[in-house]
Amino acid sequence: MTTIQSPQQLGQALRAARKQLALTQPQLALAAGVGVRFIVDLEAGKPTVRLENVLRVIDALGGVVQLIGLPLATNSTDEGGAHGA
């Protein structure tokens, strides 16, 4: 497991995974359904990349995101709704 605490660390981890799988940036972009420029920015640690696309790249690399240390999610009527209302 890799601990990620910055966009730069995420980029480094994803670059390492891509290289371990012997994928080029264009190949990963195609597999994830994103542009090559997105992969370049992601691997460079650009902090403004779209989360949806980050998750697509992680999935294309065979990874998953786990949140550790946060309270467990519960099934409530507030899912996707107004918070604090």
The domain limits of the chain are 10-60
The CA distance from 52 to 37, in Å, is: 15
Question: What percent of the chain has a predicted confidence (pLDDT) above 70?
Answer: 87
pTM for the predicted model, two decimal places: 0.80
Residue 83 pLDDT:
47
Pick the CATH number of 10-60 from 2.40.50.140, 3.30.930.10, 3.90.226.10, 1.10.260.40: 1.10.260.40
Choice between 80 and 74, residue whose per-residue pLDDT is larger: 74
Report H helices in 21-77. 25-32, 36-43, 51-60
Residue 81 pLDDT:
47
CA-based nearest residue to 20, from 50, 63, 65, 67: 63
Write the pLDDT tens digit of every residue in 27-57. 999 999 999 999 999 999 999 999 999 999 9
